[in-house]
Amino acid sequence: AYFALQVIYARRKYKVSPPETTGHPEFERIFRAHSGCVRGPLAHQDLAPLFPAGVAAVCGLLYLYTRFKYFQGYAVAAQGRLGPLYASARLLWLLLGLAVAGLLAHFLLPHSSTWTAALAWPRQLLGA
């Protein structure tokens, strides 16, 4: 909702009426930043049930924060989006890896205490 409101405010400020998507360069950056956040991967929502809630919550919050920083960086300059974009991609790869590990543990080794202990290290790192 925050990103959509920023587009609305930019439309008003730079007098760009819908459905136009071009106009003032600052409006175009804000519009593209919004589009990047809307179309960006949201895999953490689909993968979250596959690993511990604490890890999912922390990774999800970090992901949302990196998308917020992506939007802010892109709204100022196109190059400002790159750092947060790479950070959010790394978080998604982490989430995917945790999901695969959780699936493997569930289906292949459901009663293995060694495997469960190996998967518990992210919780130990996060202090859960």
Q: How far is CA 1 from the centre of its chain?
A: 15
CATH code of the domain in which 88 resides: 1.20.120.550
The answer to whether residue 113 is domain-embedded is no
Residue in the structure block whose two tokens are 């569930």: 106
- Residues designated as active site: 12, 81
Q: Given a cut of 70, is residue 1 above it in pLDDT?
A: yes
Note whether 23 and 62 are same-domain residues: no
The answer to whether residue 104 is domain-embedded is yes
Domain that holds residue 64: 42-108
Note whether 20 and 62 are same-domain residues: no
Note whether 98 and 67 are same-domain residues: yes
pLDDT, tens only, 34-49: 888 777 555 345 555 5
The answer to whether residue 60 is domain-embedded is yes
- The number of folded domains in the chain is 2
Instruction: Tell me the CA distances in angstroms from 14 to 31, 67, 70, 74, 103, one per residue in order.
Output: 12, 24, 22, 17, 49
* Residue among 72, 98, 99 nearest 85 (CA): 72
Dihedral, CA of residue 40, residue 41, residue 46 and residue 51, to nearest 10? -120
Q: Given a cut of 90, is residue 128 above it in pLDDT?
A: no
Note whether 103 and 67 are same-domain residues: yes
* pLDDT for the residue numbered 16: 94
d(CA 111, CA 74): 47
Q: Given a cut of 60, is residue 63 above it in pLDDT?
A: yes
Q: How far is CA 66 from the centre of its chain?
A: 6
- Where on the phi/psi map is residue 24: left (φ > 0), alpha (ψ -120 to 50), or beta? beta
pLDDT, tens only, 65-124: 998 999 999 999 888 889 998 998 898 888 788 778 777 777 776 565 555 566 566 666
